[in-house]
Amino acid sequence: MKVKDADKLVIDFPPDPDYYAAVFGVGGAAGRVVDRLAGRGMPKTRMCVFGMNSQEIDDVSFAEKYLIGDDGLGSGKDYITAMEASRKLLPVVNEILSVPVMAVYVVCLGGATGESCAKTFLMEAQSSAVKARMLIATLPHHLEGEDKRERAKRMLEELKHYADGVMVIDYENIDATSISSLYKRADDMLVDMTRAFVRLSTVTSILCFDLNDTRTLMRLAKDKIIDFVTLTGNIDYIKDRLKHFYKLLPARYVSIADISDMIFEECFANLDEFERFKNIGEFLPDALTCSFGEEIVESEKVDMVAFSISLDKEMKSDDIRINMFIACKH
């Protein structure tokens, strides 16, 4: 603020950015997911899809869309060509990254476009001003080919270097009777996970919660892996599921002490519902601890959970949603 302006009580606040988060859907399958999410309306978020197949890009209706390469014929499974072509879009990527605090990369590993493009874009994000980079990735089922799955796993390890946090959906862990029903289920999981994560930094929380809570979660997660659990239903359903909280977690969580950090978000349809159930937060950390069959240790209870409460107009009025982002110590 200049001195002469101070006399006039003009305060120079930085302008409110148009968007706090940018979501990049790279490749065919991830692009469809990001487009579907964009169709639901994501406030304060720039939703962008990148692909090499012009038919797939034509089908994108809600997100911003960018064709990688000149012919629109797809990658032809040529990783080098896909990587070189995606580099040509770096000026666009840099322009998108110049505003938000958070960048989220959604990629279904197993395809040449998604894998090559995600690597190029994530590497570029290292030099941007973005404060947190989340990679949301899927791993192909072995029925798609053992080689493809092994390559995707190696790619995930490579991409991890360039992200602050990683959420993975392994198709091997999804119960489904066919590949098409597996993809459908995975699409729903990707939509829920991406939406819930982006909302943490774009939707005003009723509680004091900010980006630093998310950054701490990423920092404390061993190997950068964040686990995500979501529950939606009435209060009885939520309480019942949380009684057996440990059953919702991957097997490597044997005790409450294995959790190094956690973000616990409660979503309500409107303020009336929030008023009706707002005290559920008071017993939840105790409930989680007890569900492991452990005594409640005061110090663990206080440090471990960052709470966020928000309103979600898409929800049915009787429902409560609990989103949990969990970091494991090992």
Which residues of the chain form contacts with Mg ion (CB under 5 A)? 28
The token pair at 311 is 């309103």
The minimum distance between CB 134 and Mg ion, in angstroms, equals 22
What pairs with residue 309 in β-bridges?
266
Closest C-alpha among 38, 34, 69, 61 to residue 49: 34
Q: Within 94-133, which residues bind ligand GTP (CB under 6 A)?
A: 108, 110-114
Q: Within 42-71, which residues bind ligand GTP (CB under 6 A)?
A: 52
The one segment of 183-191, 244-252, 300-308, 314-322 that binds ligand GTP by CB under 6 A: 183-191
According to CB under 6 A, which one of 67, 83, 125, 186 is a site residue for ligand GTP? 186
According to CB under 6 A, which one of 10, 18, 71, 77 is a site residue for ligand GTP? 77
Q: CA-to-CA distance for 126 and 121, rounded, in angstroms?
A: 9
Q: Which amino acid is at 74?
A: G
The one segment of 10-18, 138-146, 269-277, 311-319 that binds ligand GTP by CB under 6 A: 138-146
25 binds, among Mg ion, ligand GTP, none (CB under 5 to 8 A by kind): none
Sign of the alpha-carbon dihedral angle for 55, 58, 62, 64? positive
* Residue appearing with tokens 């005594």: 295
187 binds, among Mg ion, ligand GTP, none (CB under 5 to 8 A by kind): ligand GTP
Q: Within 198-227, which residues bind ligand GTP (CB under 6 A)?
A: none
Q: Which is nearer to ligand GTP, 100 or 114 (CB)?
A: 114
The minimum distance between CB 55 and Mg ion, in angstroms, equals 10
The minimum distance between CB 29 and ligand GTP, in angstroms, equals 3
Please return the burial class of 162, using the count of CB atoms within 10 Å of its CB with bins 0-12, 13-18 and 19+: middle
Determine phi and psi for 327, rounding to 5 degrees: -110, 135
How many residues bind to ligand GTP according to rule CB under 6 A? 20
The minimum distance between CB 145 and Mg ion, in angstroms, equals 15
183 binds, among ligand GTP, Mg ion, none (CB under 5 to 8 A by kind): ligand GTP
Residue 183: count of CB within 10 angstroms of its CB:
18
What pairs with residue 23 in β-bridges?
47, 104
Give, in order, the Cα–Cα distances in Å from 276 to each of 184, 235, 272, 307.
35, 11, 6, 18
The one segment of 23-31, 87-95, 239-247, 288-296 that binds ligand GTP by CB under 6 A: 23-31
Q: CA-to-CA distance for 79 and 82, rounded, in angstroms?
A: 5
3-state SS, residue 73: strand
Residue 72 CB partners (closer than 8 Å, separation 6+): 52, 53, 54, 55, 57
The minimum distance between CB 244 and Mg ion, in angstroms, equals 40
144 binds ligand GTP (CB under 6 A): yes
114 binds, among Mg ion, ligand GTP, none (CB under 5 to 8 A by kind): ligand GTP
The minimum distance between CB 179 and ligand GTP, in angstroms, equals 8
Q: Are strands 259-268 and 320-328 parallel, antiparallel or unpaired?
A: antiparallel
The minimum distance between CB 15 and ligand GTP, in angstroms, equals 36
Residue 105: count of CB within 10 angstroms of its CB:
27
Q: CA-to-CA distance for 228 and 165, rounded, in angstroms?
A: 12
183 binds ligand GTP (CB under 6 A): yes
Residue ranges that bind ligand GTP, judged by CB under 6 A: 27-30, 52, 74-75, 77, 108, 110-114, 138, 140, 144, 183, 186-187
